[in-house]
């Protein structure tokens, strides 16, 4: 599909320069600001050095931002037609990980394609948003709650989530399921279905317990009582709380965080980077970051509400939901509100795939915003 | 282009989006509240915990004091001890860590097991000593690999050194790891890895002074307990240096003379009780005792017939033999039972009841007055002397001279020996005291038992005219002189003392029993008294045989006491050579050589060393 064969809100064809001009630079600015906070924190946890994290993260950000703009400029109608093939390809990769994946940190999450290390589970977050949006784009409001229409949507969510859970990667599986169900909710799923399912879900917790891995159960138990084994599994939670608490209102100062500098914090460059921020910049630093996140989410929500196509709205909210879940899970884990789950703080934590995936997602969000005036016929959701 | 159905689902979408946004705001509020709780309400509590995390207090072992001889020669010092510690809580698998370490430094299986046992029983944060005494190469290897060996900490500690080894083994003793009881006394300090306490000798007696007080450092540690930097430091007090009364040159000479024998020699300053030299032979090398004594070495030392582990100078008890005769003479003179001019005729034997008492000279000495009797050590004269004085007077005089007691010498383990008497005998339920026993005590035999140290004290108190000097080996702690018990006067009649002095002078200088050990240097003349202690009943079979014809373990002990110069005594000496044979033949020459060196060096007449002044100038160290 040719890129310039699209129509803006005025009905005329969108030129390349129009697209550039209509980009929501506010969102781009906020995203860049959050990433800069990330660089600063990675510099700090390396005891004031670009090596080994901050420097590489900057390069990845450079690559990621280019990908974001490319994705943003691609026509929204191209994305709807790519949704299913992309989903299918990612699902295949995810399956391949089960058999050829390389173990890292006890989880089979990577697959190597040449020099590239891929985490298909990360790609699946994007693929699921696209595929689910396309599927829901084709449904009427009342159809969403019809079992025969609902089941394919649920399969779209549950099949990859199941594969991810087998890796095992509880965090990403949670994001896939909650994010996917969130999109069903936004699509107007009937309360008559939501209420019983949620109730059933709560009742099923004891059953689900049996399906958890030992280390996952350990995390939950430890979370419920961090003093159970303060030097073992409860160590991370306790040390994170100590770091945040001792940061106080204004923090200990940049590069002055004793907890992180003296290695009391585990995984400080990835899962616990929020804690380093809280220790060194205190409540003010934490609220600043949370404020920036909220600003991005507000902008994303506005983009969703302004989009003309249902596909665009769902994609935009899907991206926002994903982003939100990252933030909520990571921060509440750092604060000791939920068990330790290996979920990074988006745009801040060290990690290539996650950063690029999130920026890819924002690319989609911007694409929805640039092409907000474009109508997409329901037939675009059909496979044939 | 939006159809009705589209606008329906758009409205639903908008509704749900706003609903969700509300939810998100709610969750955001919860998170902000949680942050407020952690960072504002509980800030103090968590700040304290962070500080606890960060700061560790580490005790700094005080350096142990050095030991010097009276002129500043180092007798015990410390060198760097390259060692390896393991901190149990920093390693998941101590055994695997130790096995890895064993590839870098020699670490026998038995030691690994011992360390593991200690690791299991001690607190997880308390370092446990793995190995020590490494050379620089081994230590460097551990240092390079330490980052890969979780919980392994290379460390530099102290190692006690005794440069003179066997020369001073019984005097200095040695240091070793503390026992559980020691640790109870000062748990913090004594459980520092590799900390040593005095186990015997001066090291034990002066342990508290030598030990010092520990310092403490507040250090910042990382999560693995590795020290990042020091925040503050309170210096401890290093152990005090100890200056001994010994003169190492005389000590060395004494040791060399006794080498190969089983015996001991003690030399004292007669005017103040300072011990100039105290040797028990053979000695042993105390250096291995500070780290590990191999079972083989231990067996060797224990099975040696010459008993190197015994400090015979203070724990060996011997019948004093004739060296006791001056005490008998003084007792008889003071009680008035005997006048110096009273004569006794020695025919070589005297009968008491149906028992015959012999003189050492078979043919007899003929008519003896007191001077001649001391000079010739006539046994018959002293049987009579003792009989007239009575055991009570002899016992009292012996005790006034410090026999039968301990002095609190700074070398633990003194024996009090035995001065027998009527009380003692009844108390022990041995029946009534007999005159025969008085006879035996009169020539220093019977139940009478003295240590070489007591012999020396006796001789010193004789030499100084009856002043109760107390023997001691420590001159000062740091620059503070040691406190001594007051010197009392025994109130002996100077005329009596003169008679005994003259007699002992004659023993050496007028052709008496020790004439061969005469010192032919003007002003150095020595007075003495030989003694030969029987360790068995003399049977007819052995009587009259020379020592070489008797098996070693049946030979008599050779004893000699002496003081010099005769005119104005400065030093007293007592020599005991076990199974040496005759006192004048074996013990007297040793006493003579010691005395000559002492008089030449004259330690009592020179200023002694004060620690801390050594670097400032060498004036104090001379001779």
- Take residue A356 and report the two structure tokens written for it: 């690029």
Residues of chain A found within 8 Å of residue B223, distances taken between Cβ atoms: 239, 262-264
pLDDT at B2: 53
Strand B355-358 relative to strand B366-368: parallel, antiparallel, unpaired? unpaired
pLDDT at B47: 87
Tell me: the pLDDT tens digits for B374-394? 999 999 999 999 999 999 999
State residue A319 phi and psi, 5-degree precision.
-60, -45
Residues of chain B found within 8 Å of residue A286, distances taken between Cβ atoms: 35, 39
pLDDT at B224: 64
A80 touches chain B (CB under 8 A): no
First to last CA, chain B: 119
Distance CA B204, CA A356 (A): 72
CB contact under 8 A, B50 and A259: yes
Give the count of beta carbons closer than 10 Å to the beta carbon of residue A332: 18
CB contact under 8 A, A141 and B5: yes
Give the count of beta carbons closer than 10 Å to the beta carbon of residue B229: 7
Distance CA B457, CA B450 (A): 11
pLDDT at A107: 45
Q: How many CA atoms lie within 13 A of B196 on its CB side?
A: 27
- Take residue A369 and report the two structure tokens written for it: 């915003």
Q: How far is CA A68 from CA A23, A55, A319, in A?
A: 11, 20, 13
Residues of chain A found within 8 Å of residue B16, distances taken between Cβ atoms: 185-188
Which value, to the nearest 10 degrees, does the dihedral of the CA atoms of residues A359, A361, A362, A368 take? 150
B618 touches chain A (CB under 8 A): no
pLDDT at B581: 78
Of B5, B38, B89, which has the smallest distance from its Cβ to A241's Cβ? B38
- Take residue B140 and report the two structure tokens written for it: 């460097």
Give the count of beta carbons closer than 10 Å to the beta carbon of residue A218: 18
Q: How far is CA A181 from CA A315, A364, B21, in A?
A: 13, 20, 15
| A212 belongs to a structural domain | yes
Tell me: the pLDDT tens digits for A347-376? 999 988 889 999 999 999 999 999 998 889
Overall number of domains in chain A: 1
Domains and CATH numbers, chain B: 57-244 (3.90.1310.10), 248-605 (3.40.710.10)
A262 touches chain B (CB under 8 A): yes
Closest CA to B226 of A45, A262, A48, A265: A262
Contacts for A60-65: CB closer than 8 Å, 24+ residues apart: A60/A352, A60/A355, A60/A356, A61/A35, A61/A355, A61/A359, A63/A356, A64/A355, A64/A356, A64/A358, A64/A359, A64/A360, A65/A32, A65/A359
| A219 belongs to a structural domain | yes
Which residues lie below 8 Å from residue B74, measured CB to CB, with a gap of 6+? B66, B67, B68, B163
| A4 belongs to a structural domain | no
Contact A285, B76 (CB under 8 A): no
B221 touches chain A (CB under 8 A): yes
Q: What is the CA radius of gyration of chain B?
A: 36
Query: In which residue ranges of chain A is pLDDT below 50?
Result: 1-5, 8, 103-108
* Tokens 């299918």, located at residue: A88
Closest CA to B561 of B513, B498, B510: B513
Angle at the Cα of A246 from the Cα atoms of A245 and A248, rounded to 5 degrees: 75
- Take residue B99 and report the two structure tokens written for it: 């096995």
pLDDT at B614: 37
B29 touches chain A (CB under 8 A): no
| A259 belongs to a structural domain | yes
Give strand pairing partners of B267: B277, B573
Distance CA B486, CA B483 (A): 9
Which value, to the nearest 10 degrees, does the dihedral of the CA atoms of residues B593, B595, B600, B602 take? 150
**Assembly ipTM:** 0.89
pLDDT at A367: 96
Of B9, B17, B31, which has the smallest distance from its Cβ to A141's Cβ? B9
How far out from the chain centre does Cα B174 lie? Answer: 7
Segment holding B265, helix H or strand E: strand B263-269
Closest CA to B243 of B78, B66, B407, B408: B66
> Of chain A residues 148-207, which have a CB less than 8 A from chain B?
182, 185-188
* Tokens 């007999």, located at residue: B434
Residues of chain B found within 8 Å of residue A282, distances taken between Cβ atoms: 39
Contact A246, A283 (CB under 8 A): no
Q: Supply the range of the domain harboring residue A231.
A: 16-381
| A45 belongs to a structural domain | yes
Sequence length of chain A is: 384
A-B contacts (CB, under 8 Å): 127
Distance CA B264, CA B255 (A): 9
Question: What is the per-residue DSSP string for A175-211?
Answer: HHHHHHHHHHHHTT--HHHHHHHHHHHHHTHHHHHTT
What are the 10-residue block averages of pLDDT along chain B, 623 residues in total? 76 94 94 93 87 77 89 89 84 85 87 87 78 86 83 84 90 87 75 82 91 81 70 81 94 92 94 94 88 84 89 93 94 92 91 89 90 93 94 95 93 93 90 92 93 96 94 91 89 93 92 86 91 69 64 84 93 93 84 94 88 42 28
pLDDT at B448: 93
pLDDT at B54: 77
| A9 belongs to a structural domain | no
B54 touches chain A (CB under 8 A): yes
Burial track B62-83 (b if 16+ CB lie within 10 A, e otherwise) = bbbbbbbbbbbbbbbbbeebbb
CB contact under 8 A, B24 and A297: yes
pLDDT at A384: 64
pLDDT at A286: 95
Contact B218, B231 (CB under 8 A): yes
CB contact under 8 A, B9 and A310: yes
Residues of chain B found within 8 Å of residue A294, distances taken between Cβ atoms: 28
How large a percentage of chain B has pLDDT more than 70?
A: 95
Question: What is the per-residue DSSP string for B222-239?
Answer: -TT--EEEEEEEE--BPP
Distance CA A65, CA A71 (A): 10
Distance CA A270, CA A342 (A): 9
Of B8, B21, B54, which has the smallest distance from its Cβ to A258's Cβ? B54
Q: What angle separates helix A25-45 from helix A273-306, to the nearest 10 degrees?
A: 170
Distance CA A280, CA A244 (A): 9
pLDDT at A80: 95
In chain A, which residue's Cα lies nearest the Cα of B4?
A: A140
pLDDT at A47: 85
B40 touches chain A (CB under 8 A): yes
pLDDT at A101: 57
A241 touches chain B (CB under 8 A): yes
Residues of chain B found within 8 Å of residue A332, distances taken between Cβ atoms: 31, 34
- Take residue B143 and report the two structure tokens written for it: 């240092």
Closest CA to B564 of B495, B474, B464, B450: B464
- Take residue B373 and report the two structure tokens written for it: 């009797």
* Tokens 């079992």, located at residue: A147
Contact B120, B91 (CB under 8 A): no
Collapsing DSSP states into helix, strand and coil, what is residue B471? Answer: coil
Contact B485, B556 (CB under 8 A): no
Which of A262, A312, A317, A345 is the best mutation test for B, with the most CBs of B within 10 A? A262
Collapsing DSSP states into helix, strand and coil, what is residue B132? Answer: strand
Distance CA B468, CA B486 (A): 8
Residues of chain A found within 8 Å of residue B40, distances taken between Cβ atoms: 248-249, 283
- Take residue B194 and report the two structure tokens written for it: 């590799």
- Take residue A72 and report the two structure tokens written for it: 């943003």
């Amino acid at each position: 599909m040719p890129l310039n064969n699209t129509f803006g809100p005025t009905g005329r064809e969108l030129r390349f320069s129009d697209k550039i001009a209509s980009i929501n630079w506010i969102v781009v600015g906020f995203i860049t600001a959050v990433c800069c906070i990330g660089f600063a924190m990675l510099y700090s946890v390396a005891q004031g050095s670009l090596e080994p994290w901050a420097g590489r993260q900057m390069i990845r950000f450079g690559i990621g931002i280019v990908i974001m703009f490319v994705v943003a400029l691609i026509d929204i109608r191209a994305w709807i037609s790519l949704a299913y093939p992309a989903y299918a390809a990612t699902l295949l990769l995810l399956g391949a990980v089960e058999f050829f994946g390389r173990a890292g940190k006890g989880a089979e999450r990577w697959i190597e394609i040449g020099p590239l290390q891929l985490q298909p589970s990360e790609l699946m977050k994007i693929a699921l948003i696209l595929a689910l949006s396309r599927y829901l784009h084709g449904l009427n409001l009342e159809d969403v709650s019809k079992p025969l229409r609902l089941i394919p949507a649920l399969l779209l969510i549950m099949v990859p989530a199941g594969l991810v859970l087998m890796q095992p990667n509880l965090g990403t599986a949670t994001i896939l399921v909650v994010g996917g169900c969130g999109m069903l909710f936004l699509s107007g799923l009937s309360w008559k279905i939501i209420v019983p399912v949620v109730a059933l879900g709560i009742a099923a917790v004891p059953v689900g317990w049996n399906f958890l891995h030992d280390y996952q159960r350990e995390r939950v138990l430890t979370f419920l009582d961090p003093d159970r084994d303060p030097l073992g599994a409860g160590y991370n939670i306790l040390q994170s709380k100590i770091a945040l608490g001792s940061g106080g209102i204004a923090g200990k100062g940049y590069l002055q965080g004793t907890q992180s500098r003296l290695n009391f914090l585990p995984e400080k460059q990835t899962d616990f980077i929020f804690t380093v921020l809280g220790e060194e910049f205190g409540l003010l630093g934490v609220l600043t970051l949370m404020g920036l996140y909220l600003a991005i989410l507000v902008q994303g929500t506005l983009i969703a509400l302004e989009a003309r196509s249902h596909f665009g709205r769902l994609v935009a909210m899907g991206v926002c939901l994903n982003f939100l879940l990252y933030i909520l899970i990571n921060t509440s884990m750092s604060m000791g509100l939920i068990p330790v789950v290996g979920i990074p703080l988006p745009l801040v934590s060290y990690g290539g795939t996650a950063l690029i995936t999130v920026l890819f997602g924002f690319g989609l969000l911007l694409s929805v915003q640039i092409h907000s005036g474009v109508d997409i016929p329901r037939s675009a959701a059909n496979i044939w | 282009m939006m159809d009705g159905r589209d606008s329906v689902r758009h409205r639903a979408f908008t509704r749900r989006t706003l609903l969700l946004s509300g939810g998100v705001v709610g969750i955001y509020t919860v998170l902000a509240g949680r942050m407020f709780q952690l960072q504002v309400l509980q800030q103090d509590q968590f700040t304290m915990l962070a500080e606890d995390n960060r700061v560790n207090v580490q005790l700094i072992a005080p350096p142990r004091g050095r030991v010097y001889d009276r002129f500043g020669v180092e007798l015990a010092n410390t060198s760097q001890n390259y060692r390896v510690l393991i901190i149990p809580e920093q390693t998941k698998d101590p055994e695997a860590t130790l096995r890895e370490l064993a590839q870098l430094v020699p670490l026998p299986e038995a030691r690994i097991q011992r360390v593991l046992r200690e690791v299991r029983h001690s607190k997880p944060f308390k370092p446990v000593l793995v190995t020590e005494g490494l050379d620089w190469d081994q230590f460097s290897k551990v240092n390079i690999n330490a980052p890969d060996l979780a919980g392994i900490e290379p460390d530099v500690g102290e190692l006690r050194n005794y440069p003179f080894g066997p020369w001073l083994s019984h005097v200095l003793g040695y240091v070793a790891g503390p026992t559980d009881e020691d640790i109870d006394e000062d748990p913090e300090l004594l459980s520092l890895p590799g900390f040593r306490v005095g186990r015997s000798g001066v090291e034990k007696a002066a342990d508290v002074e030598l030990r010092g007080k520990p310092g403490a450092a507040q250090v910042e540690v990382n999560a693995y307990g590795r020290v990042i930097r020091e925040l503050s430091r309170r210096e401890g007090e290093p152990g005090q240096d100890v200056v001994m009364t010994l003169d190492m040159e005389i000590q060395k000479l004494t040791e060399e003379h006794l080498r190969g024998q089983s015996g001991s020699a003690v030399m004292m300053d007669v005017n103040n009780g300072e011990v100039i030299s105290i040797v028990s032979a053979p000695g042993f090398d105390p250096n291995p005792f500070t780290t590990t004594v191999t079972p083989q070495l231990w067996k060797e030392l224990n099975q040696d017939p010459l008993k190197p582990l015994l400090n015979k100078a203070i724990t060996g008890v011997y019948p004093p033999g004739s060296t006791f005769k001056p005490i008998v003479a003084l007792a008889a003179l003071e009680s008035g039972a005997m006048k110096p001019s009273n004569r006794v005729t020695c025919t070589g034997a005297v009968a008491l009841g149906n028992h015959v008492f012999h003189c050492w000279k078979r043919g007899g000495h003929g008519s003896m007055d007191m001077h001649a009797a001391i000079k010739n050590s006539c046994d018959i004269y002293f049987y009579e002397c003792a009989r007239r004085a009575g055991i009570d007077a002899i016992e009292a005089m012996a005790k006034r001279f410090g026999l039968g007691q301990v002095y609190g010498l700074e070398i633990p383990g003194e024996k009090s020996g035995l001065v027998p008497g009527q009380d003692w005998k009844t108390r022990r339920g041995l029946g009534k005291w007999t005159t025969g026993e008085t006879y035996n005590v009169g020539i220093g035999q019977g139940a009478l038992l003295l240590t070489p140290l007591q012999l020396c004290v006796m001789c010193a108190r004789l030499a100084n005219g009856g002043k109760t000097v107390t023997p001691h080996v420590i001159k000062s702690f740091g620059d503070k002189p040691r406190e001594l018990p007051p010197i009392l006067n025994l109130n002996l009649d100077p005329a009596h003392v003169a008679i005994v002095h003259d007699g002992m002078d004659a023993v050496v200088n007028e052709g008496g029993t020790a004439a061969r050990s005469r010192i032919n240097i003007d002003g150095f003349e020595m007075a003495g008294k030989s003694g030969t202690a029987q360790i068995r009943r003399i049977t007819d079979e052995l009587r009259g045989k020379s020592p070489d014809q008797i098996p070693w373990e049946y030979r008599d002990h050779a004893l000699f006491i002496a003081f010099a110069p005769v005119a104005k005594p400065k030093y007293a000496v007592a020599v005991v050579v076990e199974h040496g044979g005759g006192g004048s033949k074996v013990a007297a020459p040793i006493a003579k050589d010691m005395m000559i060196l002492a008089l030449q060096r004259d330690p009592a007449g020179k200023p002694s060393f004060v620690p801390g002044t050594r670097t400032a100038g060498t004036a104090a160290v001379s001779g």
